[in-house]
């Protein structure tokens, strides 16, 4: 397996570049464009479901049509789409995400009660 060509430090600059690229060539702007960007996330999640169904052969008419590598790829698309959608809502997407992740981590991995 080859080494990744990008480091984790490339994540937010890449999100910023993808956001700028989408903003430069979007047919709908304003509130409509914002809502459509959020709906794109649902489309990507649906593609994860389709890949899982295809990887498990759950559709008897189609059989096995995907691999677990396809599922991984689709999950990556969900993450990228979500981060670009967050960047669409705020130029401080990195800070918002890091603060939220810290909160979820503390809630989930913090001291157990009861």
Interval 53-64: pLDDT, tens = 999 999 999 999
Q: In the chain, what is the straight-line distance between the N-terminal and C-terminal CA atoms, in Å?
A: 45
- 68, with CB counted inside 10 A (0-12, 13-18, 19+), is exposed
Is residue 19 within 8 A of residue 84, CB to CB? The reply is yes
Cβ(70)–Cβ(55) below 8 Å: yes
Mean pLDDT of 46-72: 97
- At residue 112, the pLDDT reads 77
Q: How confident is the model at residue 93 (pLDDT cuts 50, 70, 90)?
A: very high
Q: What is the pTM of this model?
A: 0.87
């Amino acid at each position: 397996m080859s080494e990744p060509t990008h480091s984790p430090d490339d994540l937010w600059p890449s999100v910023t570049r993808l956001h700028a690229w989408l903003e430069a060539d979007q047919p709908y702007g304003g509130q409509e464009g914002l809502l459509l960007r959020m709906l794109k996330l649902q489309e990507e999640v649906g593609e994860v479901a389709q890949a899982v169904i295809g990887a498990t052969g759950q559709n008897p008419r189609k059989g096995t049509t995907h691999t677990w590598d396809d599922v991984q790829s689709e999950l990556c698309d969900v993450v990228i789409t979500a981060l670009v959608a967050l960047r669409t809502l705020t130029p401080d997407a990195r800070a918002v995400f890091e603060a939220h992740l810290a909160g979820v981590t503390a809630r989930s991995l913090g001291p157990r009660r009861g």
